[in-house]
Chains A and B, each alone.
Chain A
Amino acid sequence: SQKIEQNSEALNIQEGKTATLTCNYTNYSPAYLQWYRQDPGRGPVFLLLIRENEKEKRKERLKVTFDTTLKQSLFHITASQPADSATYLCALPSLSGYSTLTFGKGTMLLVSP
């Protein structure tokens, strides 16, 4: 069955550094992958979508890579700020249907001043 792994341990970094979060998946070859941000008690917010034929995608201070050979996506936040502190979820189209997403459990990022 489809499995998505994100580091369950929180990532603590200092303001100004680059945060790198990992999403690994198994038993699947997704056509795309998405990243979302979720603040406590609030709904996830879409950040970036990267397709299987794209190696890298950028949006402002965010960068996502997608390595279909390694079955891994890396999510980078450069020049991180305390306001970037949140849980970051990766999501892939479900095995059961293209129309739905399966989410990883997320990695919490804590940026200290």
Chain B
Amino acid sequence: DSGVTQTPKHLITATGQRVTLRCSPRSGDLSVYWYQQSLDQGLQFLIHYYNGEERAKGNILERFSAQQFPDLHSELNLSSLELGDSALYFCASSARTGGSEQYFGPGTRLTVT
């Protein structure tokens, strides 16, 4: 158990809908990272937050947004969902902003039908 929690575990929704994925980092970790993993693309970095502030953006679509709250939990919002958004979404946390290992949650499997 990494200490990172993610909810929900599974999510099935229709195209055009909006969903929110939630992540709680390990106790004491200030950094939260979001990743998308599909079979053909591998693990793709989406966005990084450190202590409530956005620090880096990766291949995140404009339809996706995220935030980190004062209690350090983070939410990833996915809107106008398309079939191609079906994937595993992982969040990870680390103690620092970089140069250290990341601890991944169990993931949320999103299926868009």
Question: Within A76-113, which residues are at the interface with B (CB < 8 Å)?
Answer: 89, 93-94, 96-106
User: Do residues B107 and A97 form an inter-chain contact, with CB atoms below 8 A?
Assistant: no
Task: Verify if A16 is at the interface (C-beta below 8 Å from B).
Answer: no
User: Do residues A100 and B48 form an inter-chain contact, with CB atoms below 8 A?
Assistant: yes
Task: Verify if A28 is at the interface (C-beta below 8 Å from B).
Answer: no
- A41/B107 contact (C-beta < 8 A), A46-B101, A49-B101, A100-B45 known: yes
Report the nearest B residue to A6, measured CB to CB: B42
Contacts of A89 in B (CB 8 A): 43
In-complex Cβ contact of A100 among B4, B33, B42, B88 (8 A): B33
Task: Verify if B102 is at the interface (C-beta below 8 Å from A).
Answer: yes
Interface residues on A, range: 20 to 34
In-complex Cβ contact of B42 among A43, A94, A105 (8 A): A105
User: Do residues A34 and B45 form an inter-chain contact, with CB atoms below 8 A?
Assistant: no
Task: Verify if B106 is at the interface (C-beta below 8 Å from A).
Answer: yes
Q: What's the nearest-Cβ distance from chain B to residue A32, in Å?
A: 7
Q: What's the nearest-Cβ distance from chain A to residue B40, in Å?
A: 9
CA distance in complex: A105, B45 (Å): 12
In-complex Cβ contact of B45 among A31, A46, A94, A98 (8 A): A94
CA distance in complex: A34, B98 (Å): 12
User: Do residues A99 and B101 form an inter-chain contact, with CB atoms below 8 A?
Assistant: no
Contacts of A100 in B (CB 8 A): 33, 45, 48, 56, 58, 98
CA distance in complex: A44, B92 (Å): 9
CA distance in complex: A96, B4 (Å): 25
User: Do residues B98 and A45 form an inter-chain contact, with CB atoms below 8 A?
Assistant: no
Task: Verify if A59 is at the interface (C-beta below 8 Å from B).
Answer: no
User: Do residues B56 and A97 form an inter-chain contact, with CB atoms below 8 A?
Assistant: yes
User: Do residues A98 and B42 form an inter-chain contact, with CB atoms below 8 A?
Assistant: no
A selection of 5 A-B contacts at a CB cut-off of 8 Å is: A44-B102, A89-B43, A100-B58, A100-B98, A106-B42
